[in-house]
């Protein structure tokens, strides 16, 4: 069983209309409504969420203690990597589109729950083991409870997921990325700074990377191995993975300022002499690409 949560009030309303009274996005409020859901549908094996402050085990231990007391596994998607949470994102997009097009949100939600999926079963059948009665005419015999054949359902879902994966990999040219070792220098693409791998997290393809005094959690897709490591200062008002805001007094004394002294622009003759005296050795960029100077005909 899988229960997916997200730290957005609209997503809560779309997935679970019964918790539309969620006025505050605090851990205590979220836990209270989760208990209400679990009392009717049972405790899930895995609860997957985004990286909202309600679920962050560093900023608050309430949800971590809740998962321990109710005996379920809590996992979260990688920051800045929304496609890893594609299941819930697609569901939210579908439900929100239905609600916007209808003047009666609950009728739209009921129609969505009664519509068969690609595997041939509707969400209500998968959740409750029976079809629900809607505004469309239906025979009473079709509303009797029955058990869904688990083997048939798993086989259909496996074929569907495998087909989607093959099409996506072929269209986007997906390839497997090598794992990173602790202490390896990397380039963080979304931050545009260099960093050093601290460790690999228990979550899939997720790493903790340190850049200056900040520690970030990023997906492997955001990290490019960089053989040429040049530490760069981070903005003083930025937050690290612990949520602690560093003050200017905490700045790294070993990091030189961006502009230590004013520099006068070079003249044309100086630039020409520096270009002629440049070393012909190839230059390696942060991303690992080798840049070789062009060979020119010396007349």
Percent of the chain with pLDDT over 90: 16
Residues 221 and 118 placed together within one structural domain of the fold? no
Q: Would you say residue 287 lies in a domain? A: no
What's the whole-model pTM score?
Answer: 0.60
In sequence order, which residues have a C-beta less than 8 Å from that of residue 194 and are 6 or more positions away? 185, 186, 187, 188, 211, 226, 229, 230, 231, 232, 286
150, 166, 198 — which closes off a domain? 150
Q: Which domain holds residue 94?
A: 6-150
Residues 96 and 201 placed together within one structural domain of the fold? no
CATH of the domain at 58: 3.30.420.10
Q: Would you say residue 284 lies in a domain? A: no
Residue 293 has pLDDT above 70, yes or no: yes
Residues 31 and 75 placed together within one structural domain of the fold? yes
Query: CA-CA distance, 232 to 235, in Å (whole number)?
Result: 10
Residues 192 and 85 placed together within one structural domain of the fold? no
Residues 62 and 140 placed together within one structural domain of the fold? yes
User: Phi-psi region for residue 129, left (φ > 0), alpha (ψ -120 to 50) or beta?
Assistant: left
Phi and psi, residue 296, nearest 5°: -110, 150
Tens of pLDDT along 106-123? 888 888 889 898 888 898
Q: Would you say residue 197 lies in a domain? A: yes
Q: What is the 3-state secondary structure (H, E, C) of the chain?
A: CEEECCCCHHHHHHHCHHHCCCCCCCHHHHHHHHHHHHHHHCCCCEEEECCCCCCCCCCCCHHHHHHHHHCCEEEECCCCCHHHHHHHHHHHHHHHHHHHHCCCHHHHHHHHHHCCCCCCCCHHHHHHCCCCCCCCCCCHHHHCCCCCCHHHHHHHHHHHHHHHHHHHHHHHCCCCCCCCCCCCEEEECCCCEEEEEEEECCCCCEEEEEECCEEEEEEHHHEEECCCCCCCCCCCCCECCCCCECCHHHCCCCCCCCCCCCCCCCCHHHHHHHHHCCCCCCEECCCCCEECCCCCCCC
Residue 231 confidence class, pLDDT cut points 50, 70, 90 = low
Residue 139 has pLDDT above 80, yes or no: yes
Residues 91 and 214 placed together within one structural domain of the fold? no
Contact 116, 122 (CB under 8 A): yes
Q: Would you say residue 244 lies in a domain? A: no
**Dihedral angle of Cα 20, 21, 24, 30, to the nearest 10 degrees:** -70
Residue 258 confidence class, pLDDT cut points 50, 70, 90 = very low
Residues 117 and 189 placed together within one structural domain of the fold? no
Residues 140 and 214 placed together within one structural domain of the fold? no
pLDDT computed for residue 260 by the predictor: 38
Q: Would you say residue 221 lies in a domain? A: yes
Residue 9 confidence class, pLDDT cut points 50, 70, 90 = very low
Domain total of the chain: 2
Query: CA-CA distance, 70 to 45, in Å (whole number)?
Result: 10
Q: Average per-residue pLDDT in the chain?
A: 76
Q: Would you say residue 121 lies in a domain? A: yes
In sequence order, which residues have a C-beta less than 8 Å from that of residue 26 and are 6 or more positions away? 54
Residue 83 has pLDDT above 50, yes or no: yes
Residues 189 and 80 placed together within one structural domain of the fold? no
Q: Would you say residue 173 lies in a domain? A: no
Tens of pLDDT along 236-245? 544 444 443 4
Q: Would you say residue 251 lies in a domain? A: no
Residues 116 and 60 placed together within one structural domain of the fold? yes
Percent of the chain with pLDDT over 70: 74
Query: CA-CA distance, 185 to 178, in Å (whole number)?
Result: 14
Q: Among 173-177, 197-201, 250-254, which stretch is predicted with the lowest mean pLDDT? A: 250-254
Residues 67 and 138 placed together within one structural domain of the fold? yes
132, 150, 168 — which closes off a domain? 150
pLDDT computed for residue 263 by the predictor: 43
169, 198, 225 — which closes off a domain? 225
Residues 210 and 82 placed together within one structural domain of the fold? no
pLDDT computed for residue 70 by the predictor: 94
């Amino acid at each position: 069983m899988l229960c997916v949560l997200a730290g957005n009030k609209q997503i809560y309303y779309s997935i679970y209309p019964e918790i539309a009274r969620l006025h505050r996005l605090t851990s205590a409020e979220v836990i209270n409504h989760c208990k209400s859901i679990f009392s009717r549908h049972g405790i899930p094996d895995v609860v997957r969420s985004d990286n909202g402050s309600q679920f962050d085990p560093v900023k608050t231990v309430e949800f971590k203690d809740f998962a321990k007391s109710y005996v379920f596994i809590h996992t979260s998607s990688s920051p800045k990597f929304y496609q890893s949470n594609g299941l819930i994102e697609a569901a939210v997009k579908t439900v929100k589109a239905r609600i916007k097009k209808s003047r009666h949100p609950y009728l739209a939600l009921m129609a969505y729950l009664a519509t068969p999926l690609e595997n041939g079963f509707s969400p209500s059948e998968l959740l409750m083991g029976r079809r629900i009665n809607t505004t469309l005419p239906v025979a009473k015999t079709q509303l009797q409870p029955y058990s869904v054949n688990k083997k048939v359902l798993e086989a259909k879902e496996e074929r569907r997921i495998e087909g989607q994966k093959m099409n996506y990999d072929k269209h986007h040219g997906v390839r497997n990325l090598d794992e990173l070792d602790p202490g390896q220098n990397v380039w963080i693409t979304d931050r545009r700074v260099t960093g050093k791998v601290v460790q690999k997290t228990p979550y899939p393809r997720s790493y903790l990377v340190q850049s200056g005094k900040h520690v970030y959690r990023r997906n492997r897709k955001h990290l490019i191995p960089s053989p040429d490591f040049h530490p760069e200062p981070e903005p003083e008002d930025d937050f690290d993975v612990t949520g602690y805001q560093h003050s200017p007094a905490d700045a790294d004394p070993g990091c030189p300022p961006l502009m230590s002294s004013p520099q006068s622009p070079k003249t044309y003759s100086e630039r020409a002499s520096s270009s002629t005296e440049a070393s012909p050795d190839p230059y390696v960029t942060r991303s690992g690409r080798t840049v070789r100077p062009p060979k020119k005909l010396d007349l």
